[in-house]
Homo-oligomer: A and B are copies of this chain.
């Protein structure tokens, strides 16, 4: 079991990573010490609860959480669900001292965090991510929120959890496509800040792809450590946190332009990373050798074919991304393995060339 400390200006919390730590949930939640009258809400999806509910309940015993359900899928990450959930909490007698446990993937975590951030102007919450993607990415960093009809994550709060408990054992039941979607984000973490993590994934790619717990735990912990470092340096995404968006400018554009249906978030990021890498290579910021090596590792995990959307729409979507301030389009580019920089001068021509490149790549792998 590994522990990673995250420090933000709103306080400090611990991320625990290990196999089977779900069974000791209670003692990993500081808010559960003391006050036995505290109400505990648990937000999850019916599918996840069917698989793990009994073990979670046993772990929290003798407390009985009030279970709130959020249907799975990005389309339920909306204000109407936030209103329904907070109303249910209010009806159940939730007050400012109540605790919420978000037990599920990224959607559950983002909605659970947002509900906690705004219910009675903020209650304690804990993230218990059940997918690889949410373990390595969204559960750490305090970003919470929901989508609007006009785009993803357009409303939300920065609101850190009181603790994050990432049990590698939960990943057994994950479909391989979802496992891989998380691996891409770990590769990203390595690429922007930790060449050692990149090399670790590279040399253990078969075992990781099989879901072997030992290398997975090491990969998850290393990825979270990078995210935690970046978040500590820059709580409000003004500078260095932006680097976490490597692959995301085009990745988000791919998701938006294809109506969030064709690819999982991590898969869109995989293509976005290859595109950003292509721009970096053409700018001679990354060697041809490193480019091939990085591309090979991403493609080892077989991102599904690039969706059928026009380059024009992609370019448009990339310019409307919220990572842009007052009209400037920001791209994160690589400067060799383990180092990234923000560029504001990437031209439409460069973006279009990169889109054409990943399109050809996707065609060739069919």
Contacts and interface: CB of A to CB of B under 8 A. Distances in A.
Contacts of A157: 117-118, 121-122, 157
Given A79-B79, A96-B325, A90 B154 contact: yes
A151 B93 CA distance: 12
A119 interface: yes
A121 B144 CA distance: 8
A91 interface: yes
A122 B158 contact: yes
A87 interface: yes
Interface in A143-171: 143, 145, 148-151, 154-158
Interface residues of A, number: 37
A33 interface: no
Given A118-B157, A121-B143, A121-B156, A90 B326 contact: no
Contacts of A326: 35, 37-38, 95, 97
> Chain A contact residues: over half helix, strand or loop, or mixed?
mixed
Interface string A118-132: 111110000000000
Contacts of A118: 118, 145, 155-157
A125 to B, nearest CB: 14
Contact of A121 (B35, B79, B80, B145): B145
A155 B79 contact: no
A151 B90 CA distance: 8
Contact of A120 (B37, B154, B327): B154
A199 interface: no
Contacts of A96: 322, 325
18 contacts: A35-B326, A79-B82, A79-B83, A83-B148, A86-B148, A86-B154, A90-B151, A95-B326, A96-B322, A118-B156, A118-B157, A119-B154, A120-B154, A120-B155, A121-B145, A121-B155, A121-B156, A122-B158
Interface of A: 35, 37-38, 78-80, 82-83, 86-87, 90-91, 95-97, 117-122, 143, 145, 148-151, 154-158, 322, 324-327
Given A37-B327, A97-B325, 19 more contacts: A37-B326, A38-B326, A79-B79, A79-B80, A79-B83, A80-B83, A82-B155, A83-B148, A86-B154, A86-B155, A87-B150, A90-B150, A90-B154, A95-B326, A118-B118, A118-B157, A120-B156, A121-B157, A122-B157
